[in-house]
Amino acid sequence: MIARSLRTRATLGALTLALSVGAFATDARAFCRSSTVRGAPGECSSSGIPLMWCSACAGLSLHVDGSIDIPIETLRTEATGAAARWSASVACPGETMEPPAFELRVIDDTRVLSGINHGGPNANTVSFNSEWRLDSLHRMGTIAITIVSFDRRTGEILDADVELNQRTDINPAGFVFSTGMPMPDTADLSTILTHEFGHGLGLGHSDQDRAVMWPTAGMGESRRTLSADDVEGICDVYAFDRRPSMQCDPVGTTARPALLCNDTPYGGLAPAVDGGRVVGGCAVVGGLGRSSATRWWLLGAALVTFGWRRRATRRLQ
């Protein structure tokens, strides 16, 4: 990555659909719900089925290769903190002030790269991509992408993988990520992970410029704390008293749904299986373009839809 001024800003993950992302929004809300139907570029979709995980938790796995710049244990700490911002650190509006009825957990590491294997084990992988091969997902100037795989008939999220565009000798246009005190001309890893995890949970972009899900961020900028709009968004997706759609198992009979927590990925955790990254094809990553005064960089997210019949034998949700 060439040196960039503090005025440089990065466009944070636009979920697109074709396979792509859409989003739900209402007139009174700034946050967007991702959906199974693509909205116009830069806009929230008002159609389709909103995306969500159907159980009470999901497990994230760090790729064993980690980062050339960040020790794996530091990465684990950053990922754990970013995940907690969307659950344990949130008090949803209302009398009880309960946290969202969902939790992201960092579980065992994996060698699995992005994508989903609907016939076998998987992992919701967080990885640094040192060979950002340009295609419809991995576009020039993209800091990171979140690839969300879901059932287009139900909106159930099946898999979510985060790829961070790491600068290396063979990828000089990538980015340097920093931890701790934000550093000029670097991407703040905590900010990026928190934003990308929001996409993985089913959120699109907010139109509030202090929100974590706001679509741009400057190099060296820290925006790690959820805004009121981010909180409203995640609490809308995973309300304390939520009842999943009839396609999601299990649904309780009491005032609170009997959502059980199983952080094993769809099809089982694949900790030691090598694989290739998702490239081109179905998914396209969109961004907000460039302005004359400021160069805009993309941090994209893509949605991958699946329409096969789900297995008769279900995991414990």
Mean pLDDT of 207-234: 91
**Cα-based angle 136, 142, 145 (whole degrees, multiple of 5):** 70
In 3-state terms, what secondary structure has residue 236? helix
Residue type, 142: T
Q: Tell whether the model's pLDDT for residue 121 goes beyond 80.
A: yes
Distance from CA of residue 198 to its chain's centroid? 5
Phi and psi dihedrals of 20, rounded to 5? -160, -170
Q: Is 172 helix (H, G, I), strand (E, B) or coil?
A: coil
CA distance 240 to 100: 5
What integer best gives the mean pLDDT of the chain? Answer: 74
22-31, 110-119, 223-232: least confident range: 22-31
161-172 burial, b at 16+ Cβ within 10 Å, e below that, comes to bbbbbbbeeebe
| Domains of the chain, earliest start first | 1-40+49-310 (3.40.390.10)
Neighbouring C-beta atoms of residue 173, cutoff 10 Å: 13
**Could you read off the pLDDT of 273-298 as tens digits, one per residue?**
555 665 543 332 222 222 222 233 44
**Residue 74 scores a pLDDT above 80:** yes
Exposure of 137 in the CB half-sphere (CA atoms within 13 A): 30
User: What pLDDT is attached to residue 29?
Assistant: 63
Are 306 and 170 in contact, with CB atoms under 8 Å apart? no
With vertex at residue 242, the alpha carbon angle to CA 236 and CA 248, rounded to the nearest 5 degrees, is 110
Residue 195: pLDDT above 90?
yes
Confidence of residue 177 (pLDDT cuts 50, 70, 90): very high
Q: Give tens-digit pLDDT for 50-60.
A: 999 988 889 99
| Average pLDDT over every residue of 121-147 | 89
Listed residue (7, 10, 3) closest to 223, CA to CA: 10
Cα(304)–Cα(36) distance, rounded to whole angstroms? Answer: 10
Q: How confident is the model at residue 272 (pLDDT cuts 50, 70, 90)?
A: low
What three-state secondary structure class fits 198? helix
d(CA 155, CA 105): 21
Q: Left, alpha or beta for 289 (phi > 0: left; psi -120 to 50: alpha)?
A: left
82 or 45, which is more confident:
82
Q: Can you give the pLDDT at residue 67?
A: 95
State how far the Cα of 21 lies from the Cα of 303, in Å rounded to an integer. Answer: 5
pLDDT digit string (tens) for 150-169? Answer: 888 888 899 999 999 999 99
Lookup result for tokens 């693509």: 38
Stretch 303-314: mean pLDDT, rounded?
36
| Cβ atoms within 10 Å, residue 303 | 29
Residue 11, pLDDT above cutoff 70: no
Question: Phi/psi at 81 (nearest 5 deg)?
Answer: -65, -40
The predicted pLDDT at position 242 comes to 62
Residue 149, pLDDT above cutoff 70: yes
- Closest by CA position to 152, among listed 312, 308, 306, 314: 306
Is the pLDDT confidence value at 95 over 50?
Answer: yes
Vertex 224, ends 223 and 230: CA angle to 5°?
Answer: 90
In terms of Cα–Cα distance, which of 247, 39, 288, 46 is closest to 157?
A: 247
pLDDT value at residue 72: 94
Which residues fall within 8 angstroms of residue 27, CB to CB, at 6 or more apart? none
Average pLDDT for 195-202:
95
For residue 312, the tally of other CB atoms under 10 A from its CB is 5
